[in-house]
Amino acid sequence: MKVPFGDLTREMADCGDEIRSAVDRVLASGWFILGRELDAFERAFGEYLGAPERVVGVASGTEAIQLGLMAAGVEAGDFVVTVPNTAVPTASAITAAGATLLLVDVAEDGLTMDPEALRDALARERPRLGNRLKAVVPVHLYGQCADMDPILEIAREFDLAVVEDACQAHGATYRGRQAGTIGDFGAFSFYPSKNLGCYGDGGAVVAQRPSDVERLRMLRNYGQSRRYYHDVKGINSRLDEIQAAILSAKLPHLGPWIDSRRRIAEAYAAHIGAGRVRHPSVMGYGEHAWHLYAIRHPERERLMSDLEARGVGTLVHYPVPIHLQRAYADLGVEAGSLPIAEAAASELVSLPMFPQLTDAEVAHVCDSVNAVG
Ligand SMILES: Cc1ncc(COP(=O)(O)O)c(C=O)c1O
């Protein structure tokens, strides 16, 4: 049996007709940018998140983070704190906003920002950086929230804005609140393989304060307040009408799809018992949305090739932490400086995880890991 790591063609069985009629509707309208479809999706996703009228659709998750930082007042020369074990776009967004990264390590369980490491770094750097230390970007990794209460408390203490990277966390909760609605801003990606994905690039920013929504709308549209009148320096980052219509068609499926992800995660947790496999930690403070199921294994490469031989697709999220990427060598953060993220990077393997996996496929993944793990 072959079990792919992901397979977006299977979504068509769930919602192909709705998607085709959504795309046809946009084609017939002749209107492709900043129109009714975007308004409707922003309203619907805002309702889903419990953040009505506070969602602004943008062109990608990367730019959602960038725009959140820009709206928070981050400028060239500022510093933004984040974690090393994230998708590189988290770092790209900070760089695009003109800021320099300040990396802090993650907690061993959950692999999200360690609030104590955050506090230590801020206390150490504040005297040197003063008010150029502007914001913190916690990453809700693999569909599980970072521990937001202490992070928010520390951010308030140091007068920093909080922009949540919720790009992997649609539908995750933290103490009853939806990921992306907890900090000053929340950033979502609708990259096709996300829990809610479009069929191209897309993203959204959620503003905590209604007063920031207008600013985000200007920032994503060259800083325009009305046509040809530019109040702030913005960029071009708009969720187009076709992608918005596709997302509106898919949104009603998000809840059932996350339920399926949870069932698959439960099956992996219950049935994979191979000796050297470490399962992901599930934190007690919220609901995991299982974008990825990333196990750890001391012989990661060997495990991956043995699984491939049994037809099981795997990927690594992520093999190289930000500070060890060539592009970020200028940060001057040496190997060994962020040991928890570095150790995880050498052991993580993500198993197949998408809502349409069949019971037989899930069983085959479990049997295969048990046989070679
Ligand atoms: C944690 C994280 N941050 C940011 C992004 C960037 O999103 P996008 O690919 O939509 O720009 C992604 C997804 O790729 C991600 O997984």
Please say whether the beta carbons of 43 and 52 come within 8 A. Answer: yes
Ligand 1: atom nearest CA of 203 is 10
Q: With contact defined as beta carbons under 8 Å apart, do 134 and 80 qualify?
A: yes
- Model confidence at 186, in pLDDT bands (50, 70, 90)? very high
d(CA 133, CA 245): 39
HSE of 297, CA atoms in CB hemisphere, 13 A: 26
| Inter-axis angle of helices 148-157 and 115-129, nearest 10 | 20
CA–CA gap between residue 43 and residue 303 (Å, rounded): 44
Q: How far apart (Å, rounded) are the C-alpha atoms in residues 180 and 65? A: 11
Mean pLDDT, to the nearest integer, of 182-201? 98
Q: What is the pLDDT of residue 194?
A: 98
Question: Which band of pLDDT confidence, cut at 50, 70 and 90, is reported for residue 274?
Answer: confident
Query: For position 91, what pLDDT does the model report?
Result: 98
Q: Please report, to the nearest 10 degrees, the dihedral formed by the alpha carbons of residues 301, 139, 293, 318 taken in order.
A: -10
The minimum-distance atom of ligand 1 relative to the CA of 65 is 4
Select from 3.90.1150.10, 3.30.1480.10, 3.40.50.720, 2.60.120.1440 the CATH code of 253-372.
3.90.1150.10
Q: In this prediction, what percent of the chain has a pLDDT beyond 90? A: 99
Residue 175, sorted as left (phi over 0), alpha (psi -120 to 50) or beta, turns out to be left
Domain boundaries in the chain? 8-104+111-248, 253-372
The string of pLDDT tens digits covering residues 8-49 is 999 999 999 999 999 999 999 999 999 999 999 999 999 999
Q: Which of 62, 194, 220, 240 to mutate to test the pocket of ligand 1 (most atoms within 8 A of CB)?
A: 62
- 118-168 pLDDT, tens digit each: 999 999 999 999 999 999 999 999 999 999 999 999 999 999 999 999 999
State in Å: Cα 90 to ligand 1 middle: 7
CA of 91 to the centre of ligand 1 (A): 10
CA of 282 to the centre of ligand 1 (A): 22
Average pLDDT over residues 221-233: 96
Closest CA to 8 of 213, 277, 192: 192
Count of C-beta atoms within a 10 Å radius of residue 361: 19
- Is residue 277's pLDDT more than 90? yes
What's the chain's average pLDDT? 98
- pLDDT for 168 equals 98
Distance CA 57, CA 70 (A): 15
Q: Which pLDDT belongs to residue 356?
A: 98
Beta bridge partners of 81: 102, 136
Which pairing describes strands 177-178 and 100-103: parallel, antiparallel, or unpaired? unpaired
Q: 190 and 247 in contact (C-beta within 8 Å)?
A: yes
Cα separation, 126 vs 137, in Å, equals 17
Report pLDDT for 236.
Answer: 98
Q: Ligand 1: residues whose CB is within 6 Å? A: 60-62, 86-87, 89-90, 139, 165, 167-168, 189, 191, 201, 203
Compute, in angstroms, the gap from residue 202 CA to the centroid of ligand 1: 10
Which pLDDT tens digit goes with each residue over 291-343?
Answer: 999 999 999 999 999 999 999 999 999 999 999 999 999 999 999 999 999 99
Q: Does residue 221 register a pLDDT over 80?
A: yes
Q: Looking at the domain that runs over 8-104+111-248, which CATH code has it been given?
A: 3.40.640.10
- Which alpha helices (H) appear in the chain, and where do they start and end? 11-29, 36-49, 61-71, 88-96, 115-129, 148-157, 210-219, 241-271, 300-309, 339-345, 359-372
Instruction: Determine the distance from the C-alpha atom of residue 76 to the mean position of all C-alpha atoms in its chain, rounded to a whole number.
Output: 24
Question: Closest Cα to atom 12, ligand 1: which residue?
Answer: 167
C-alpha–C-alpha distance, residues 18 and 313, integer Å: 29
At 141 the pLDDT is: 98
Please check whether residue 292 is in contact with residue 170, taking contact to mean a CB–CB distance below 8 angstroms: no
pLDDT for position 36: 98
In order, the DSSP letters of 269-333 are: HHH---TT-BPPP--TTS----S-EEEE-TTHHHHHHHHHHTTB--B-S-SS-GGGSGGGGGG-P
Q: The tokens of 192 are what?
A: 């096709």
- Per-residue pLDDT at 13: 95
Distance 273 CA to ligand 1 centre (A): 31
The reported pLDDT for the residue numbered 275 is: 83
For ligand 1, the distance from its centroid to the CA atom of residue 63, given in whole angstroms, is 9
